[in-house]
Structure 1
Amino acid sequence: MEKYLEIVKESYANYFNYLVDLVTSLHWENYFYGLIIVSLAVWILELIFPWRKDQKIFRKDFWLDTFYMFFNFFLLNLIVLIALSNMAEAFFNDILGVVGLSVQSFQLFDVDELPLAVGLLIFFVVSDFVQWNTHRLLHRVPFLWNFHKVHHSVKEMGFAAHLRYHWMEPVVYKSLLYLPIAIIGGFDAQDVAIVHFFALAVGHLNHANLGWDYGFLKYIFNNPKMHIWHHAKKLPSDKKYGANFGLTLSLWDYLFKTNHVPYDGRDIELGFSGDEKFPQGFFEQEIYPLKTKS
């Protein structure tokens, strides 16, 4: 146990140095400035092409979502990703080491031998499918749904709502994502940054005040007109656990019949049953799932 705690401790220490470097140096895969640039770009699109024209520029909970965006993206998400990845690798290697194996023993192929574009496409599709399934779990398992309610407490959609979520969510997502990605293996941070920024941009657009669906591409990529129905307060009985679970790709929802876009949802009510009693502040929302029975 001491070994794993030391790994987490070292991950956090290394992350602080990484964060300082992130803020003080400029390079194309810089997550700090990448988030700012993507956020400003999508916000400008909202201002130029607003879907709900009467929605204020600084909509309800704009600043709360902005705080969530930076808190989750930098202070939590990347730390959790680094710490969990390092600890999970050590844990699984220790278990497999008993029989003379390691996680790398299950690696299906060496992506370094593939063209970069092919390797990244495989990484993107596999990770998106795993996250689609994880998202479904967040809606179906009562214990996890209590955490996911934070994200669904959004009452007015805007780009920053993308990263309003409880700190437990990346723990669930990254834990379930680790093994499939480890089996693929071979990616470095610079390569993954391409996929990361693409997913970030699509996620921001999905939550933005934009009435777009990308035409025939809506059957492949998630979009604002589709994702707003994921946040609908009222859904038909056959969608009681939700619909439109895709993060970047809508493809999975159409393939597995979890899609639901009955009509233009511009003015539908957002939220979930009983959300009028849901806490409004950051700290209250963070502790809500911890003191709520499933």
Structure 2
Amino acid sequence: MENETLIRFGVFIGLFVLFAMTEAMLPRRQRTQPRSTRWVTNWGITIANTVLLRLMSFGLPLLAVGAAAHATAQGWGLFNALTLPFWIEVIAAILILDFIIWAQHLITHKVPLLWRLHRVHHADMDMDVTTAIRFHPVEIALSMLIKIGAVYLLGPAALAVILFEIILNGTAMFNHANIRLPLGLDAVVRRVMVTPDMHRVHHSVHRHEHDSNYGFALSIWDRMFGTYIPQPAAGHDDMEVGLEWQDDRPSKLGWSLALPFARK
């Protein structure tokens, strides 16, 4: 697909600005740290991720979208062995990829080595739209390798992978945003999609709460597998976000990048 990178970047920036403006006008919680320091750090991490993925593309030219095109050309993967209508294939591929990301997220909480990487994301003491882009570069690289492997096994159309990436990025920014949704609207939306209130439970300092609500896009997986917690025990206004043992250092870029290698 021509201009795929430009389209994805344009959608990302447009949604980021939309959610940032919305949370500024309708905040769900009071901030505990200045936005300026957190945003510099969180954007610094995502710039490092972008550079790393660009370097990976030189040594591994077929990232997720390229892998889909290559699998299709070679006739590899599940969908290339089936004869499904194109629209069913696209929807099925998006659903399966979303489940794989949900399962990957759960595993990062259960495997100690992966948790050391993933806790960089959880160390953010405030939640807003920039928390959605705060993932350690090594975790981003591993996630990309998992997606590439999944794409080769499934053999989806490149369009399905592009749409999935756009949906994943957009919903992640939405459910990390510090947005106050009316409770009635939240109750309706979370039947299908993960809402900010639903995902905020996952960022609780309490282990039993942050080991829940793993979804980024669809809420169905947590309901199906018994990992759904509707609300935090302390309520959204009083709950603590982050890690139990941390202080204000997550707002520092160097500390955040070094966290996986710290003793804690």
Question: Could you state the TM-score of these two structures normalised by the residue count of structure 1?
Answer: 0.72
Q: Distance in 1 between matches of 2:5 and 2:163?
A: 10
1:164 is displaced (CA, Å) by: 0.4
Residues 1:193 and 2:193 aligned together: no
Matched residue, 1:130:
100
Matched, 1:225 2:194: no
Which one of 203, 207, 211 corresponds to residue 172 of structure 2?
203
Contact 1:225–1:266 (8 Å) recurs in 2? no
Cross-structure match for 1:50: 27
Amino acid at match of 2:256: Q
User: Would you say the 8 A contact 1:76–1:167 is kept in 2?
Assistant: yes
Matched, 1:287 2:258: yes
Taking CA–CA contacts closer than 8 Å with sequence separation of 6 or more, which of the two structures ends up with the larger relative contact order?
2
**Structure 1 residues 69, 256: closer, same or farther in 2, change over 3 A?**
same
Once the 2 structures are TM-superposed, how far is the Cα of residue 82 of structure 1 from its aligned partner? 7.5
Q: 1:111 to 1:66 in 2, by over 3 A?
A: farther
Deviation at 1:209, TM superposition (A): 0.8
Q: How does 1:61-210 map to 2 (within 5 A)?
A: 61-72=38-49, 74-77=50-53, 79-80=55-56, 83=59, 86=62, 107-110=77-80, 114-188=84-158, 190-210=159-179
Alpha-carbon deviations, 1:208-229, whole Å to 9, x = none? 0113364333132111001101
Q: CA deviation at 1:146?
A: 1.0
CA distance in 1, matches of 2:212, 2:164: 24
Return the letter of the residue paired with 1:286: L
1:31 matched to 2:2: no
Contiguous gaps of at least 5 residues in structure 1 = 1-20, 89-103
Say how many residue pairs are matched: 250
Distance 1:224 1:174 in 2: 25
Q: How much does 1:40 deviate? A: 0.5
CA–CA separation in structure 2 for the residues paired with 1:244 and 1:122: 22
1:126 positional shift: 1.2
What is the CA–CA distance in structure 2 between the aligned matches of 1:284 and 1:44, rounded to whole Å?
Answer: 28
Query: Is contact 2:102–2:216 with CA below 8 Å preserved after alignment?
Result: yes
Per the TM alignment, residue 143 of structure 1 is displaced from its structure 2 partner at its CA by: 1.1
Corresponding residue for 1:272?
A: 243
Quote the offset at 1:282 in angstroms: 1.6
CA contact (8 A) 2:124 2:250 kept: no
In 2 relative to 1, CA 123–224 (structure 1 residues): closer, same or farther, beyond 3 Å? Answer: same
| Code of the aligned partner of 1:120 | V
CA distance in structure 1 between the aligned counterparts of 2:47 and 2:237, rounded to whole angstroms: 27
Q: Hey, what does 1:234 align to over in structure 2?
A: 206
Tell me which of 217, 225, 247 is aligned to 2:216. 247
Residue 258 (structure 1) aligns with: 227
Does the 8 Å contact 1:219/1:254 carry over to 2?
no
Check whether the contact 2:16–2:173 (CA below 8 A) recurs between aligned residues: yes
- The residue type equivalent to 1:75 in the other structure is V
Asked if the contact 2:63–2:148 (Cα under 8 Å) also holds between the matched residues in 1, the reply is: no
What is the match of residue 91 of structure 1?
Answer: none
AA of the residue aligned to 2:240: E
CA distance, structure 1, for counterparts of residue 243 and residue 160 of structure 2: 38
Match of 1:92 in 2: none
Rounded to whole Å, the distance in 2 between the matches of 1:274 and 1:84 is 38
| Contact residue 111 and residue 119 of structure 1 kept, 8 A | no
* Rounded Cα–Cα distance in structure 1 between residues aligned with 2:192 and 2:87: 18
Q: Unaligned stretches of 5+ in structure 2? A: 65-73
TM-score relative to the length of structure 2? 0.80
Greater shift after overlay, 143-152 or 215-224?
Answer: 215-224
Instruction: Tell me, in whole angstroms, the C-alpha distance in 2 between the residues paired with 1:82 and 1:118.
Output: 33
Identical amino acids, percent of aligned pairs:
22
1:215 maps to 2:171 = no
Q: 1:210 to 1:267 in 2, by over 3 A?
A: farther
CA shift for structure 1 position 78: 5.7
State the structure with more CA Rg. Answer: 1
Shift of 1:187: 2.1
Residue 259 of structure 2 aligns with an amino acid whose one-letter code is Y
Q: Cα 1:116–1:50, aligned 2, differ >3 Å: closer, same or farther?
A: farther
